Amino acid sequence: MRIFLYRSMIGIFFGGFIAAAATIAFIYAGGQSTLDGHIFIKNALGSIFCGWLFTVTPLYFEIRSIRLPMQTALHFLTVTIVYLILGLWIGWIPIGVKNFFIYLGISVLVYAIMWICFYLYFKNESKKLNEDLESIE
């Protein structure tokens, strides 16, 4: 529970930072002198929720009773479905069948790339640890 709360706080603060940075970039790059308060609050809360979601859902991978393929499937489904609902509600993803399939394709591609990168990283780290253990003997 302590890890969940810690990660929740990190995610909420990171999401708030992303919301502030995106707003600043939108104002300066977009040449906007004013913002619609309702849209700003909606986008800020969405960013904060996403920050929380993306820092809490990796806890699936710490449940030792679930095998890696199931952990990956649960994580992917949770992140993809919740983000789709949030994106449709906020307006980040336009409503439509074509847009749904574009979102799904991008999600699968990005998730696969990230998963492979993390897998190779941790595989390399375990190889280094095993080499260090062998050198001790």
137 — pLDDT class (breaks 50, 70, 90): low
Instruction: Write 64-72 long-range contacts (CB < 8 A, 24+).
Output: 72/115
Residues 88 and 99 in one domain: no
Q: Which domain holds residue 25?
A: 1-93
User: Do residue 120 and residue 88 come from a single domain?
Assistant: no
Count of domains for the chain? 2
Same domain, 86 and 99: no
Is 122 in the same domain as 62?
no
Give burial (CB, 10 Å; 0-12/13-18/19+) of 117. Answer: exposed
CA-CA-CA-CA torsion sign (71, 64, 82, 113): negative
Residue 122 has pLDDT above 90, yes or no: yes
Are 79 and 105 found together in one domain? no
Tell me the pTM.
0.82
Residues 4 and 62 in one domain: yes
Q: What is the pLDDT of residues 27-65, one digit of tens each?
A: 888 877 778 889 889 999 999 999 999 999 999 999 999
Q: Higher-confidence residue: 84 or 25?
A: 84
* pLDDT band with cut points at 50, 70 and 90 for residue 94: very high
Same domain, 1 and 33: yes
